[in-house]
C-alpha cells in the first residue's frame, strides 16, 4: 500500500513538473513594466535581458494617410548599441501602456499591443514628446518570459 501511495505521489509531482506554465495577462503586464523600468533607468543590459538573443526590432512610422514607412530593422546587439547612444545624449521619461494582450491557445506565447509616450530632453533643443504604437511577441522559454522583438510605429501624438 505504501508503494502505491508513494508511486501516486511521485506521478503527481512528475505530472506537475511536466505541465508547461501558462502565460497570464498579469504576467505579461508585469513583464512590460519591467522592460519600461529598465529603459527609464537607462539600463541597456537590463532591457536587453528581457529579449531573446535572436530578437528583431522594427522602427517604422505611420503617415497622415495611414500608410507605414519602415525606418529600420535591428538585431538585439544593434538595438542595444543604439539604446546606449540614445541614453548618452538624452534625458527622457517613457510611459508604456498595454492596450491588448492576446495569449496563444497553448498559453506559451502572447501578442502584446500598446502605445508609448516619451518626453525627451536634448541639450540645446526644446523638449519633445514622441508617441508610438507598439507590438511585440512574448514567449515562455525555459520557464522565463522573453520578447522575440518589438515593432514601434511612430505616430502623431494626440493633442
What pLDDT digit, counting tens, does each position of 53-78 carry? 999 999 999 988 889 999 999 999 99
Domain 21-155 belongs to what architecture?
A: Roll (3.10)
Q: Is 132 exposed, middle or buried (0-12, 13-18, 19+ CB in 10 A)?
A: buried
> What's the average model confidence in pLDDT over 8-25?
57
Single pTM value for the model? 0.82
For residue 138, the SS3 value is strand
Q: What is the pLDDT of residue 20?
A: 53
Distance CA 32, CA 36 (A): 6
What cell numbers appear for 107 in the block?
A: 498559453
> What's the average model confidence in pLDDT over 106-122?
96
For residue 125, the SS3 value is coil
Q: Rounded to 5 degrees, what are φ and ψ at 128?
A: -125, 155
Distance CA 19, CA 2 (A): 26
Distance CA 24, CA 26 (A): 5
Residue 2 confidence (pLDDT) above 50:
no
Lowest model confidence (mean pLDDT) among 9-13, 42-46, 132-136, 152-156: 9-13
Amino acid at each position: 500500500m505504501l508503494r502505491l501511495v508513494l508511486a501516486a505521489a511521485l506521478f503527481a509531482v512528475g505530472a506537475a513538473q511536466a505541465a508547461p506554465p501558462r502565460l497570464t495577462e498579469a504576467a505579461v503586464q508585469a513583464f512590460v513594466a519591467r522592460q519600461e523600468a529598465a529603459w527609464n533607468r537607462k539600463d541597456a543590459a537590463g532591457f536587453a535581458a528581457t529579449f531573446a538573443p535572436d530578437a528583431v526590432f522594427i522602427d517604422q512610422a505611420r503617415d497622415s494617410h495611414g500608410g507605414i514607412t519602415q525606418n529600420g530593422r535591428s538585431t538585439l546587439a544593434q538595438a542595444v548599441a543604439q539604446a546606449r547612444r540614445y541614453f548618452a545624449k538624452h534625458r527622457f521619461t517613457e510611459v508604456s501602456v498595454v492596450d491588448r494582450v492576446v495569449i496563444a491557445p497553448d498559453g506559451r506565447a502572447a501578442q502584446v499591443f500598446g502605445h508609448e509616450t516619451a518626453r525627451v530632453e536634448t541639450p540645446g533643443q526644446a523638449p519633445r514628446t514622441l508617441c508610438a504604437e507598439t507590438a511585440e511577441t512574448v514567449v515562455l522559454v525555459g520557464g522565463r518570459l522573453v520578447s522575440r522583438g518589438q515593432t514601434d510605429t511612430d505616430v502623431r501624438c494626440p493633442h
